[in-house]
Amino acid sequence: MSFLASLAQRYSHIALFILCELIAFILIINFNQKQRDIFLHSSSLMSGSLLKKTSELKDYMSLQESNADLLKENARLLQEIISMPRSEVAMPDSNQLAYDVIPAHVINNSILSVRNHFTIDKGSLDGVQPSMGVVTLGGIAGIVKSVNERYATVISLVNVDIRVSASIAEKDYFGTVSWDGQAYSSLILNAIPTHADINLGDKIVTNGYSTIFPPGLDVGEVLSFDVNKNGAFYDVAVKPLVDFSSLDYVYVLKGNFAKELISLIEDE
């Protein structure tokens, strides 16, 4: 008992101190408008910032999900752009050449070889078939080479085997885009006649002469041009608009063509 009494005597001032401070703070918060506002506000600030942190965490956890959503949305928009008539003189039936857009994620990519490929996480189950065009939001990226159920291998635009028909934007000169196996930041467009009026920085776009890519998709920009050895054509160096070293999300273009068109092309 005497121990308890001495304990009480020893620490009574601390208890008294805490009690007095408590009363003082209750008085402060209840009877001072400014302090009351700050108190109420900061408690809501505290709970608010906690809620914000939680929702940020939730956002982070669902990043993959929202990425997938964005990808779908992008694909839908891309589809709309592609199926829009290119110009006023477009054929009334050009909308029939509609493309479905399949979003995909690049899971493997190479740029160091002369025959570069990349792999995407969509296959025949998703509707991907060989010879479909693959684009990014920047421009065209390659052509599907082979597919299995879940994955597809795509010939990159930086592959010496690829040939894509392209023309200079808003001028009708057309040629073939290929790659010389040198730098992945430079493609070659050949067979442009020397009387063509080319300027540095001109856009090179697909011309829709094949069913792989619809007309008007970006390929690159004119980096430099030179008359080739034969003297009849320009060799145009083209800077691709897609950074092949950092491919991430791509879109596979699935053309819905009239059977007649396909058989016609195959007959050629």
Give the interface with another protein as residue ranges (CB under 8 A). Answer: 12-14, 16-17, 20-21, 23-32, 34-35, 38-39, 42
Both tokens of residue 109? 């990519």
CB 236 within 8 A of CB 198: yes
Nearer to another protein, 5 or 14 (CB): 14
Distance in Å, CB of 49 to another protein, minimum: 14
Three-state SS annotation for 179-234: CCCCCCCCEEEEEEECCCCCCCCCEEEECCCCCCCCCCCEEEEEEEEEECCCCCEE
Distance in Å, CB of 33 to another protein, minimum: 11
CB atoms within 10 A of CB 207: 22
Closest listed residue to residue 94, CA positions, set 104, 84, 102:
84
Distance in Å, CB of 37 to another protein, minimum: 9
Nearer to another protein, 32 or 49 (CB): 32
Q: List helix spans (H) across 32-160.
A: 33-61, 63-83
Distance in Å, CB of 46 to another protein, minimum: 12
Give the C-alpha separation, 203 to 140, whole Å: 13
Distance in Å, CB of 45 to another protein, minimum: 10
Nearer to another protein, 30 or 55 (CB): 30
CB 205 within 8 A of CB 211: no
Nearer to another protein, 42 or 182 (CB): 42
